[in-house]
A and B are shown apart, each in its own frame.
Chain A
Amino acid sequence: MNLPPLPDEAVVIGAHAADWRSAVREAGRALTRSGATRSDYADRMIAVIEEFGAYVVIAPGLALAHARPGRDVLREGLAVVTLAEPVAFGHPHNDPVRVVVGLAVANAEEHVASVANLANVFNDAGAVGRLAHARDATEIRGLLGIEGGAA
């Protein structure tokens, strides 16, 4: 299984986010626009960070915003938000964040293969920088090696 499709609606280039919450909310809106989640999902992604801390900043400059599967997840989805100004999430080593990847999964099993594909992309240490500088959704899809798909 490949990564979920990444339609144009699921990509935001150069978002202006005042803080980490608005950066995550931007990813939540992108997931909702692309039809993957209801709008409540953004609140749950924020709640995960409020509860457990900024561990979602899993590599320098990269936050993987996500929450548990739930009724607000309509189908597996991916969103990518690049930030015009880097935002601190409060991670001791990997701040500031330049790219937020939003992930929604309908059940815990189905996402393992797509996450492995995500790992393939980001095992290349230059990937976050290239995503941060991408000019449009087509370039983002190219860097992630995924299809556009219908929204």
Chain B
Amino acid sequence: MKIIAVCGVGIGTSAILKVNAERALERLELTADIDASDLAGIAVAAADAQVILTSSELAPAVRQAIGRSFAEVVEVTNYFDVDEISRLLERSLG
């Protein structure tokens, strides 16, 4: 299972999202590879991903970039809220 955390530039915010998504997976007792990506690299990164985590601000651009990928785009409001991320991941992966 592969999850991608996306932000505009691929550092900073996507890294925070990756760290907190790892904490959420641990809480859910699930294992997955989580990579961080920038918007420019998302089409390639998403090819074999199940879930793409991003903000609601970037979600439309992500959907456009990945085209007909099987990955589900999940919008996170608070990047530090492990409860929120756990709920979202449980819904997508469960």
> Hey, which bits of chain A sit against chain B, CB under 8 A?
48, 51-56, 58-60, 64, 66-69, 91-94, 103, 105, 108, 111-112, 115-116, 118-119, 122-123, 125
Which of chain B's residues 28-79 have a Cβ closer than 8 Å to chain A? Answer: 39, 54-58, 61, 77-79
Contacts of A111 in B (CB 8 A): 11-12, 15
The residue of chain B having its C-beta at the shortest distance from the C-beta of A128 within the complex is: B80
Contacts of B81 in A (CB 8 A): 59, 125
Contact across chains for B55 and A58 when beta carbons are under 8 A apart? yes
Contact across chains for A58 and B78 when beta carbons are under 8 A apart? yes
B55's partner among A55, A115, A122 (CB-CB below 8 A) is A55
Contacts of B13 in A (CB 8 A): 55-56, 58, 64, 66
Contact across chains for A91 and B11 when beta carbons are under 8 A apart? no
Q: Give the interface centre of B17, B19, B23, B81 by most chain A CB atoms within 10 Å.
A: B19
B contact residues, range: 20 to 34
Contact across chains for A53 and B58 when beta carbons are under 8 A apart? yes
B15's partner among A55, A59, A91, A115 (CB-CB below 8 A) is A115
Contact across chains for B57 and A119 when beta carbons are under 8 A apart? no
Shortest Cβ gap from A117 to chain B (Å): 9
Please give 15 more A-B residue pairs, beta carbons under 8 A apart, in addition to A60-B78, A66-B9, A105-B11. Answer: A52-B57, A52-B58, A52-B61, A55-B13, A55-B58, A58-B13, A58-B16, A58-B79, A64-B13, A91-B57, A108-B11, A115-B12, A115-B15, A119-B80, A125-B80
What is the CA–CA distance of A123 and B61 in the complex, to the nearest angstrom?
27
Contacts of B7 in A (CB 8 A): 52, 55
